[in-house]
Structure 1
Amino acid sequence: MTSSAERDMTASLSMLDDFLAYTLALARPAANETHGSCAGGVRWAWLADGVLSMEPAVLTADTRSVLASAGVHGDETAPIELLSCLVRDIACGEAALTCRLLVILGNVDAMREACRYRDDDLNRLFSGRHLQLPHSHEAPRAAALEQAAVQFFASASRQPGARWHIDMHTAIRASAFERFALLPHTGRPISRAMFEWLGHARISAVLLHTAKGNTYSHFTAHTCGAEACTLELGKVRPFGQNDLTRFAGANEGLRDLLAGTKRRGEAELPRAFTVIDQITKQSDAFELLVAADVANFTPFAKDTLLARDGDYRYVVQHDEERLVFPNATVKPGLRAGLMVIETTRGTLSSLV
Structure 2
Amino acid sequence: MRPFEPAQDFLSLSLQGLQPQQATWQQHGIHAHWLGHGLLRLSPSEPEATLPHLLLSAGVHGNETAPIEVLAGIVNDLLAGSLPLRAHVLIVLGNLPAMRQGKRFIDYDMNRLFNGQHSSQPAAAEAVRAAELEQLALAFFSPSTGTKRHYDLHTAIRGSVFERFAIYPYLHERPHNREQLMWLAQADIGTVLLHSKPAATFSYFTSQHCQADAFTLELGKARPFGQNDLSRFAGIDLALRQLVSGQQPATPAYDASQLQLFRASYDLIKHSGDFVLHLADDVENFTALPDGMLIAEDGAIRHLAKGGQERILFPNPRVSIGLRAGIIIAPSSLD
Q: Could you tell me the TM-score, scaled by structure 1's length? A: 0.91
2 CA distance for matches of 1:286 and 1:212? Answer: 24
Kindly indicate whether the alpha-carbon contact (under 8 Å) linking 1:296 and 1:326 is maintained by their aligned counterparts in 2: yes
Q: CA deviation at 1:304?
A: 1.1
Confirm whether residue 318 of structure 1 aligns to residue 307 of structure 2.
yes
1 CA distance for matches of 2:258 and 2:43? Answer: 30
1:329 matched to which residue of 2?
318
2:15 matched to which residue of 1?
24
Q: CA deviation at 1:265?
A: 8.1
Confirm whether residue 151 of structure 1 aligns to residue 139 of structure 2.
yes
Q: Aligned runs of 1:163-174 on 2, under 5 Å?
A: 163-174=148-159
Residues 283 and 247 from structure 1, CA distance in 2 versus in 1: closer, same or farther, beyond 3 angstroms? Answer: same
Confirm whether residue 295 of structure 1 aligns to residue 284 of structure 2.
yes
Q: Name which of 231, 238, 250 aligns with 2:236.
A: 250
- Structure 2 gaps, min length 5: none
2 CA distance for matches of 1:210 and 1:340? Answer: 10
Residues 208 and 69 from structure 1, CA distance in 2 versus in 1: closer, same or farther, beyond 3 angstroms? Answer: same
Kindly indicate whether the alpha-carbon contact (under 8 Å) linking 2:40 and 2:90 is maintained by their aligned counterparts in 1: yes
- Structure 1 gaps, min length 5: 1-6
1 CA distance for matches of 2:331 and 2:214? Answer: 21
Kindly indicate whether the alpha-carbon contact (under 8 Å) linking 2:118 and 2:130 is maintained by their aligned counterparts in 1: yes
Confirm whether residue 212 of structure 1 aligns to residue 198 of structure 2.
yes
2 CA distance for matches of 1:302 and 1:13? Answer: 56
Q: CA deviation at 1:57?
A: 2.4
2:224 alignment partner AA: P
1:73 matched to which residue of 2?
61
1:125-158 Cα offsets, whole Å, 9 max, x none, are: 001100111111211111111111111112212x
Is the partner of 1:43 in helix, strand or coil? Answer: strand
Q: Name which of 226, 240, 245 aligns with 2:212.
A: 226
2 CA distance for matches of 1:79 and 1:265? Answer: 24
Confirm whether residue 11 of structure 1 aligns to residue 8 of structure 2.
no
RMSD of aligned Cα (Å): 1.6
Large movers: runs of 4+ above 6 Å: none
1:20 alignment partner AA: L
Kindly indicate whether the alpha-carbon contact (under 8 Å) linking 2:152 and 2:215 is maintained by their aligned counterparts in 1: yes
Identity within the alignment, %:
42
1:4 matched to which residue of 2?
none
Confirm whether residue 178 of structure 1 aligns to residue 167 of structure 2.
no
- 257-266 vs 220-229, which moves further: 257-266
2 CA distance for matches of 1:233 and 1:258? Answer: 19
2 CA distance for matches of 1:129 and 1:20? Answer: 28
1:83 alignment partner AA: L
1 CA distance for matches of 2:259 and 2:153? Answer: 17
Q: Could you tell me the TM-score, scaled by structure 2's length? A: 0.95
Larger helix fraction of residues? 1
2 CA distance for matches of 1:99 and 1:335? Answer: 37
1:34 matched to which residue of 2?
23
Q: CA deviation at 1:17?
A: 4.3
1:278 matched to which residue of 2?
267
Q: Aligned runs of 1:303-314 on 2, under 5 Å?
A: 303-314=292-303
Q: CA deviation at 1:173?
A: 0.5
Q: Name which of 193, 207, 210 aligns with 2:179.
A: 193
Q: Name which of 81, 88, 91 aligns with 1:93.
A: 81
1 CA distance for matches of 2:248 and 2:88? Answer: 18
Q: CA deviation at 1:264?
A: 6.9
